[in-house]
Amino acid sequence: MFTDLIPWKTKEMEKIAKVFLCDKKLILLRAPAGMGKTSVAIAYLIYNAIMGRRGAIFLRTRREIEHALKIAKTIHTRLKADLLIIATPSKQRLCVMSPSETIPIKFMCPIIECPRMKRRKYSDIEKYLRKNVLTTTDEYLRVLSMGRRCPFWIIRSLLPKANIIVGVHEYFKDDYLFSLLGELDVLIIDEAHNLLMMHYEFDRDKIERGKILVEEFLERGGRNIARLIVGLWRQGNYDDAEAVSQYQQYTQTDGKEKRLGRKILKIPTPISTIRKRLEKSGKIVLMSSTLYPSRFFETIFSKNMEHEMKIIKGLMRNPNRTIRIMDTDISTSIRERNPETYRKYAETIRTIKTRTKHKMIVFAPSYDVAKGISKFLGAPVTDNPKGEEIIITVYRGRIAEGVEIPEDYRVAIMAGLPYPKLTQRESKILEAYSEEYGVSIEVLREAYMRSSMVSALIQAMGRVGRKNRGWIYIIDRRARALLAG
Ligand code: SF4
């Protein structure tokens, strides 16, 4: 089994590995956080690379990319195989000349006549990277820019040669960036729930202006729009250059169109992107601990396509964490947000505190709920703990997102479930999905809210039990039924 490549192999990983070996071209895998999905995915890519098959893994954040690179380095060092493993930082980071946010970097190069554009030799860099897997994106950028070269142009040459690519989701979602990767046999998307709500946003006024400028240019016999953009920028006509660039991107972007005030949204459905990527690859594995509700994701990612969906139940599997869903009649549902509910929450939290000597973080679904509980509990609402025994914060806030907190906060209280407020933008995207998938908007809305809730819950839960043992208590009447499936 290819998991033999992983030095820290567990029985749980074998279960995941079997899913990877399924002979379907499209695989959906929901497995609890902490089961070792990324380790198995990297081992699978390395195994395939040794067999001569190219693969890529797409992750959500830089931190996740670096975690994957560390795993790849450990396996690669033991194997001593001649493999080229390349990390792709976000496209803006690949330009070292402080690129403009409004013009794609490919236009910046001729605009500023960047001298780095001409330094395209990369054989020494390739040789070095075949021997060394670097573990941070900064290190990759440093190596790619050696000899005052351009990381963007060097990586463009290296990507089609790489045996394994470790990139951000952007490289899977975006047609142009994906085209830079070359033909791939295996694509793995980690935290695949993040493919939801993919969209591109354009400014209506700019598109209208850009359209006029392009039509005038073509009437004058012009052919190359890139030249028009570069020319306008060099004349100092930045707004028009941006308008033409936006118009060009708008015409080249696929997706269902929706209006939102002065904005135009182009919304590619996840299934249309997956279908396109499958045309160019042998296999796609979409994995996440947050494919909740699973039926919803099965529809969104694989409707009318042959696929395999595997669910390994549970939210989080980590020997360092104990999760308890409390048997309770209280809830922070909108209509129950009142002083009596907050008093009951405070009472329950106080009871839990009497049973533990550890400090506690309470996560609440909103600042109003946090303040309500704080009033009865006498604990501060803060993202900056100063040694208090109990602090209260919010889901999706700084602490939940990963800001460092002292290790002695080892108990996390989930005071209610973090259902989001749907924004207008999200509503428009769900409207487009409803039309494309033929599923009612109400069903989609409910499923999306639940998925977003589970995602925020897991993220907050991950704040304890990292180095030391942690305890998690979920206090909401709805939790048991909702999280069971
Ligand atoms: S050549 Fe590279 S560094 Fe120079 S502007 Fe273009 S992308 Fe940026």
Question: What confidence tens digit (pLDDT) does each residue in 335-375 have?
Answer: 999 999 999 999 999 999 999 999 999 999 999 999 999 99
CATH class held by domain 2-197+269-311: alpha beta
Q: How confident is the model at residue 401 (pLDDT cuts 50, 70, 90)?
A: confident
Residues of the chain with CATH 3.40.50.300: 2-197+269-311, 321-484
Integer-rounded Cα Rg, in Å, for the chain is 25
- Closest atom of ligand 1 to 150 CA is 2
- Closest atom of ligand 1 to 109 CA is 6
C-alpha distances in Å from residue 290, one per residue of 71, 195, 368, 408, 443: 22, 12, 26, 28, 18
Pick the closest to residue 59 from 397, 287, 395, 294 (CA basis).
287
Instruction: Return the number of other C-beta atoms located less than 10 Å from residue 337's C-beta.
Output: 16
Residue nearest to atom 1 of ligand 1 (CA): 117
State the average pLDDT over residues 380-390.
Answer: 94
Mutate to test the pocket of ligand 1, among 88, 90, 100, 109 (most ligand atoms within 8 A of CB): 109
Half-sphere exposure of residue 24, counting CA atoms within 13 Å on the CB side?
17
Residues lining ligand 1, Cβ inside 6 A = 95-97, 99, 105, 108-109, 112, 114, 116-117, 150, 152-153
> What are the pLDDT digits (tens) for 109-152?
888 888 998 899 999 999 999 999 999 999 999 999 999 999 99
Q: Is the pLDDT of residue 485 over 90?
A: no
Q: Which residues of 184-213 are buried (b: 16+ CB within 10 A; e: fewer)?
A: bbbbbbbbbbbbbbbbbebbeebbebbbeb
Which listed CATH number (3.40.50.150, 3.40.470.10, 3.40.50.300, 3.90.850.10) goes with 321-484?
A: 3.40.50.300
The alpha carbon of 132 and the centre of ligand 1 are apart by a number of angstroms equal to: 25
Q: Which residue has the tokens 């001593």?
A: 80
The alpha carbon of 106 and the centre of ligand 1 are apart by a number of angstroms equal to: 8
The alpha carbon of 123 and the centre of ligand 1 are apart by a number of angstroms equal to: 19
Angle at 290 (CA atoms; ends 287, 292), nearest 5 degrees: 115
> What are the pLDDT digits (tens) for 421-476?
999 999 999 999 999 999 999 999 999 999 899 989 988 998 998 788 999 999 99
Percent share of the chain, pLDDT over 70: 99
Residue nearest to atom 2 of ligand 1 (CA): 150
Mutate to test the pocket of ligand 1, among 112, 114, 156 (most ligand atoms within 8 A of CB): 114
Residue nearest to atom 6 of ligand 1 (CA): 109
Residue nearest to atom 8 of ligand 1 (CA): 95
Residue nearest to atom 7 of ligand 1 (CA): 95
- Closest atom of ligand 1 to 116 CA is 1
